[in-house]
Amino acid sequence: MKLLNNRCPAASSTFALCALLFVLCGSVHAQQKDKVFRIGYLDPGTVSGNAALLEKFRQELSKLGWIEGKNITIEYRFAELKPERVAEMAAELVRLKVDLIVTSGNPPALEAKKATSTIPIVMVNVGDPLGLGLVASLGRPGGNITGFSSLADELNTKRLEVLKDAIPKLDRVGLLQGSSYNPGVELQVKELRVAAPALKVELEEIKTEVDPQSLESAFKTAKQKQVKAIIMTSIRVFFAERKRIVELATKHRLPAIYNRKEFVDEGGLMSYGPDYDDQYRKAAQYVDKILKGAKPGDLPVQQATKFEFVINLKAAKEIGLTIPPNVLARADKVIR
């Protein structure tokens, strides 16, 4: 009996400690459950130009249980095609102490990384994360950044190949590129300079701003230099002005291949590129994992795996171009 009495206080103490830990754990869990996470979204483009992709992102978040205004808030920052604003917007999101930052494109990812080494960053639509120095490796990025690569550098070479196949006698191509410095664009141009001679195509580089007058001047320059087709670097400012670019290509009767299907939706001739809807859905899945405790440095950077090749025969007819049957057969979608 004496032995039993000696053990009872210890048992009671252990029980009390367990009960206290249970209450504390429950309290922490409740706090985590009730917390409204703050997500920063940084984009060099415009609200209207990215509405469709953002809707895919929000829809996927909703499927995963994250509802804007309920358990998450999103701080949207759009540079409105003014690259010089991106750095300050990244710094602003850091000052707001957001829980996570989603970036779209090369400059936002680079500026967000400069602005913070602690806040998790999920990048989307980045051409070459390794070449840009954003991550240590694709499989184990380390640090506070992970996300999705659009393979912009490699795909520009592929687009040039498709253009050559669609216009067999093509020997001179105009390359439109933004006039402001962009390390991602430099990598794309470098790849194209190597690919062009191999395809027996001369590359005419044309730098331009994205205002209406500059774009008009760029296409006039292309005609003066007797280019027979147009390709352009994959940058968000061109995407935002896609309608005007497509109109100018048609006006000057220049076949062009674009990096996104939205150009074809505006009446463009052809597009070949990754499925951006898929990338934004997957970005939402990474946001979900990180908000639930995963470390961004442990999540591999994923390269695009879904691609779309779209041809618009109405646009081809308008500029008097006949697309060879073997090229049409490769298209995922043909608009007639």
CATH superfamily membership of 152-274+308-335: Response regulator (3.40.50.2300)
36-151+275-306: CATH number = 3.40.50.2300
DSSP lists the bridge partners of residue 203 as: 173
**Beta strands 257-258; 302-303: pairing state:** unpaired
pLDDT (mean) for 322-326: 97
**Beta strands 172-178; 202-208: pairing state:** parallel
**Residue 5 carries which side chain, given as an amino acid letter?**
N
Of 295, 327, 291, 285, the C-alpha closest to 310 is 327
- Tens-place pLDDT, residues 179-220: 877 777 888 899 999 999 999 999 999 999 988 999 999 999
- Tens-place pLDDT, residues 266-279: 999 999 999 999 99
Contact by Cβ (8 Å): 215, 252: no
pTM over 0.85: no
Task: Show me where the domains of the chain are located.
Answer: 36-151+275-306, 152-274+308-335
Whole-angstrom Cα distance, residue 308 to residue 112? 30
36-151+275-306 and 152-274+308-335, same CATH topology: yes
pLDDT (mean) for 24-46: 74
Looking at per-residue confidence, does 122 or 209 come out higher?
122
